[in-house]
Structure 1
Amino acid sequence: DPAIHNGADDNASGVAVMLYLAKKLKEDGPKNNNYLFMAFSAEEFGLIGSKFFVEHPTLRLEDINYVINLDMVGRLKDDGTLIVNGAGTSPVWKDALQRIRVGNIHVKTFDSGVGPSDHTSFYLKDIPVLHFFTGQHEQYHKPEDDSFLLNFDGMYDVADFILRLISDLDGQGKLAFTKTKDEQAEGRRAASYKVTLGVMPDYAYSGKGLKLDGVRDGGPAAKAGIQAGDVVVRMGDLEVKDIYGYMEGLSKFKAGDSTTVIVLRDGKELKFKVTF
């Protein structure tokens, strides 16, 4: 049934942090760069807003030093993991990110400048980018994504982390751009699949396998007994080392097929029969 989707994390959190950054930078920000703040529409229909901007820019694209994208930054977990995509798009990013200390934040970086958010449009124009993201959750794209679930202290920490990054980069001039391996495209090439397990990956997880942040009610995983927090390590004959191995595993099946999925739960290996 139709329902109001307040979108507290996706993406009111990003807009709120952007406005906070705008206020702080105007009050007492570093002075060697100018800052342009934008919120784009129609991202989930194919990055339409940001694509339009880079094709019809209001300033010369070659004058843009770098782009910071805030997409779902409202659910910083207790362990402080902050996911940063695009860390390979300039040689300065990783060292700069590692120098910053705010609260208990620690960054988990991914190199690729291509992903399902608006930084991609700028990366494809040879502009260094970073995408900040605190992780997926079961309320994603649901009416339940509401403000009482946000970690407001965590949002302040994310904002202050970015402020320190901007200040750190202020005297470095124009950042060099580097092309990255398109990890997501490689994953799509490796796995054109017609079924789903009905799970939400934990993108902050850095161990072996695919840790599950959530399991969709009524999906194949839920029906089989797989739970949030489980770590998928095998699908059928295929070992699952990461999300790309998981996608490759899905590519082996079609609707109606059954297979054995092995997960780790509380250190124990469990087997489940899953029907897609």
Structure 2
Amino acid sequence: MDIRGKITKGKLVFLFLIMALVVLPGIAMGQVHSVSKGDTIHKIAGSYNVSQFALRYTNNVWTDSIYPGQNLTIPQRYTVQKGDTLFLIGKKFGVDYNRIKAASNLKVNSINPGQTLYVPIGRAVNTTSRGSFNWAEIDALARIITAEAASESYITQVAVGAVVLNRVDSPLFPNTIRGVVYQVDSGGKYQFEPVLNGWINRPANETAKKAARDALNGWDPSNGALYFWEHWITNKYLKARPVSVKLDAFTFTY
């Protein structure tokens, strides 16, 4: 090939790179970080300029226990452009927009140009299914999520669902979802306040239904918790239990 051919080919490559930058503004490609001795979630997040929450969410790591040699996927940063919606961004990356919303710790669906979001591509979660449940059981799970945590972030809603399922798996509680949700303890008290005040009878919203499915598919942001309580709770028994994680206004305990 003569010099003109080489120049033309070089120009084409250059133009392609420029077009890629225009078409995909604000995207930082995800990376995998191999944990070294002395690494912490705080340090790793700072090194890659991502939030600690997004890093934890992407890797389903909700404690500070990480170890040398462990691989952590770095969430992709995305800068919102004019005309973007969570749905369109999710479609662009092939990720459910609820996961982007959760990784970015958003409580609403509205976003603004210039805002930084985190895309949890390759999020490492426990995908072991919790088993088969009938429609009534799944509906009860979605209803309790709606009643308890409709105003909280998506990840907190999944965690509430996971607590119910953790109780199903525990010998300390009934072995069905409805049994757990509607359980009355030996003192005659309902385990969940929405059952007492009737909020459990309200239809589940769509976000809670998705959160229920995520919990049923094995995602447990509560880290195996059996209890949760909100900041205004004064129950000394709950507050004395070991804490697994704090999400929004909820504290999850064992």
Answer yes or no: same fold by TM over 0.5.
Answer: no
Larger Rg: 2
The structure richer in strand per residue is 1
* TM-score, normalization by structure 1: 0.28
Structure 1 or 2: more helix by fraction: 2
Normalising by structure 2, what TM-score?
0.30
